[in-house]
Amino acid sequence: MAEIVLDHLNKRFPNGFEAVKDLSFEIAEAELLVLVGPSGCGKTTALRMVAGLEDISSGDLFIGGRRVNDVPEKDRDIAMVFQNYALYPHMTVAQNIAFSLKLAKRPKAEIKKRVEETARLLSLEALLDRRPKQLSGGQRQRVAMGRAIIREPKAFLMDEPLSNLDAQLRVHMRGEIEALQKRLGVTTVYVTHDQVEAMTMGDRVAVLRSGELQQIDTPTNVYDRPVNLFVAGFMGSPPMNLARATIEADSGRIAVRLGSLAIPVPDEVARDRKLEEWAGREVIAGIRPEDLEGPREDGTLVGSVKIEATIDRVEALGSNLLGFFTVDAEPATSKGIAEATGGDLEEVALITREGTPFCGTFEPRSAIRLGDRVDVSVDTRRLHFFDPESEAAIRG
């Protein structure tokens, strides 16, 4: 067990592509850090650099206080779980799990004991004599975990280990891996493109974009205080509602104008973000779907600020209900949002043409329908503001 320190790591491939740029962060001992970002953001490359499967172009990498840039992968004492599991097809489950111990020339009795322990931990006892092709996806995934666990390494590296499983199993294994990691207390770097996995599993989350670190913080902080439009657009499903807006100041009271809507901003928020300095200027305003709430079952609204909305589309998800409506503000198009969402927002904007589609949450049993006019409350304490130039969050 050990902490991992990335100090100004760079990866430049021979063709000139810079996959990882000036990446610096620390992973504490026994911490589970999730590296998240859209595909091609360099997260897997960063992981492979830690593993030793990819050379480090510049910068320093420390594992357990020792600089390991030039230490070959087999001497770094870390284990990796691959996306496609990479089980040895000609070996049984037991042989797969035992392979590293066999190479380390551990006594036979010890290997047998540790294989049994590992199998028990992962409920693989009944499968030890099977070959990988006789296993289901979830079982293969557990064997891959077993191969990493048995070594008792300094750290686990996991490269999208759940992406080949179907949805239900993925949710289940998410919990299992997290519980296992906490129980073993092994420093873990977990790579995923799935922001739900990042939110639910990580002690901390590091968001990467084009090889650069955007934000590293607890899942809650990343979600509630995204540092820029990219993080705001990437974390959260459905994503944060974003639109172009203007800050209006009227005798000390600050409001944000979204098309024909003027939403008053609470004083403490305005003060905290120093919004007065932005008076009369354009910003990008954001609010998460759960902070736009429809009426309660008894018809009352939670918040004091309400807006009127005409429902364009309804998505009933069972546990909650999403209602989409159009706000007559200009959509917030930015490079960051486009990268975070894969361009989805622009497509939606094409369909509705005028204004910006916003998503709010409604009572799951409420009978809202297409075309309904409803009141939606805005939790104005949870408004987000971004500089349209730099795309950074306005923090004052």
Partner 1 sequence: MSTTAAPPTSVPVRPTVTRKPVGRVSALGFKYLALVFFAMAVLTPLYIVLVASFKGTAEADPSNAWALPDVWTFDAWRQAWDQLLPNLKNSLYLVIPATLISTVLGSLNGFVLSRWRFPGSDVVFLFLLFGMFIPYQAVMIPLAQLFADVDFPTGIPRLAFAHIVYGIPITTLIFRSYYATIPEELIEAARMDRAGMLRTYWSVVLPLSAPAFVVTAIWQFTSIWNDFLFAVFLITDPSKWPVTVALNNTTGSLVTPYNLQMSAALLASLPTLVVYILLGRYFIRGLMAGSLKG
Tokens of 115: 């294989």
d(CA 274, CA 247): 11
Which residue's CB is nearer to partner 1, number 47 or number 247?
Answer: 47
Residues in 22-51 that interact with partner 1 by CB under 8 A: 51
Minimal distance, residue 138 CB to partner 1, in Å: 18
Confirm or reject binding of residue 103 to partner 1 (CB under 8 A): yes
Minimal distance, residue 19 CB to partner 1, in Å: 17
Strands of the 384-386 sheet, one edge to the other:
261-264, 253-258, 241-250, 282-287, 384-386
Confirm or reject binding of residue 133 to partner 1 (CB under 8 A): no
Confirm or reject binding of residue 104 to partner 1 (CB under 8 A): yes
Confirm or reject binding of residue 69 to partner 1 (CB under 8 A): no
Minimal distance, residue 183 CB to partner 1, in Å: 22
Minimal distance, residue 161 CB to partner 1, in Å: 12
Confirm or reject binding of residue 82 to partner 1 (CB under 8 A): yes
Which residue's CB is nearer to partner 1, number 103 or number 350?
Answer: 103
Which residue's CB is nearer to partner 1, number 52 or number 239?
Answer: 52
Which residue's CB is nearer to partner 1, number 73 or number 363?
Answer: 73
Minimal distance, residue 4 CB to partner 1, in Å: 15
Identified binder of partner 1 from the candidate list 15, 16, 70, 90, rule CB under 8 A: 90
Identified binder of partner 1 from the candidate list 114, 140, 147, 204, rule CB under 8 A: 147
- How many alpha carbons fall within 13 Å on the CB side of residue 252? 2
Which residue's CB is nearer to partner 1, number 95 or number 352?
Answer: 95
Identified binder of partner 1 from the candidate list 79, 198, 321, 327, rule CB under 8 A: 79
Say how many residues make up the chain: 396
Identified binder of partner 1 from the candidate list 74, 120, 296, 335, rule CB under 8 A: 74
Helix axes 108-121, 137-149, angle to 10 degrees: 130
H/E element, 172: helix 167-184
Strands (E), the chain: 4-12, 18-27, 32-36, 58-63, 66-67, 78-81, 155-159, 187-192, 204-209, 212-217, 241-250, 253-258, 261-264, 282-287, 292-293, 305-316, 321-327, 356-362, 373-378, 384-386
Confirm or reject binding of residue 88 to partner 1 (CB under 8 A): yes
Confirm or reject binding of residue 274 to partner 1 (CB under 8 A): no
Q: Give residue for tokens 């491939």.
A: 13
Confirm or reject binding of residue 53 to partner 1 (CB under 8 A): yes
174: three-class secondary structure by DSSP: helix
Which residue's CB is nearer to partner 1, number 100 or number 163?
Answer: 100
Other beta carbons within 10 Å of 248: 18
Which residue's CB is nearer to partner 1, number 151 or number 170?
Answer: 151
Which residue's CB is nearer to partner 1, number 118 or number 326?
Answer: 118
Minimal distance, residue 98 CB to partner 1, in Å: 10
d(CA 236, CA 380): 18
d(CA 354, CA 203): 41
Q: Give residue for tokens 């931990």.
A: 121
If binding means CB under 8 A, how many residues of this protein chain bind partner 1? 23
Residue 126 contacts by C-beta under 8 Å, 6 or more apart in sequence?
none
Residues 216 and 204 sit within 8 Å (Cβ to Cβ): yes
Buried b (16+ CB within 10 A) or exposed e, 108-142: eeebeebbeebbebbebeebbeebbeebeebbbbb
Confirm or reject binding of residue 73 to partner 1 (CB under 8 A): yes
Residues in 333-392 that interact with partner 1 by CB under 8 A: none
Confirm or reject binding of residue 80 to partner 1 (CB under 8 A): yes
Minimal distance, residue 83 CB to partner 1, in Å: 8
Chain residues in the site for partner 1 (CB under 8 A):
51-53, 73-75, 78-80, 82-84, 86-90, 99-100, 103-104, 147, 151
